[in-house]
Amino acid sequence: LLLFLKFRIYVLKAFGEILLMATNIAACIWAFYPINKTAAYILLPYFAWVSFASCVNYSIWQLNKTKRN
């Protein structure tokens, strides 16, 4: 949200950062699972929320793209 509103960074860059964050969360889940399943399961809602945020960000990007033309 800060990337989007406060710092006025382009939507595509914010989308890229969200994808990097989702990738890192997935990597943490994958790494934690063999060691501590509970730790991996606790990260699943966070991964779901970041995935939802990336879908919203992508939708806004696509809607704004069509309004400019």
**pLDDT tens digit string along 30-69?**
999 999 999 999 999 999 999 998 888 888 777 776 655 4
Two tokens, residue 32: 């934690």
Q: Which pLDDT value is given to residue 56?
A: 86
Evaluate if residue 2 carries a pLDDT over 70: no
Q: Which pLDDT value is given to residue 13?
A: 78
Is this prediction's pTM over 0.75? no
Nearest Cα to 17, choosing from 32, 4, 30?
4
CA 31 centroid distance within chain: 19
Q: Which pLDDT value is given to residue 41?
A: 97
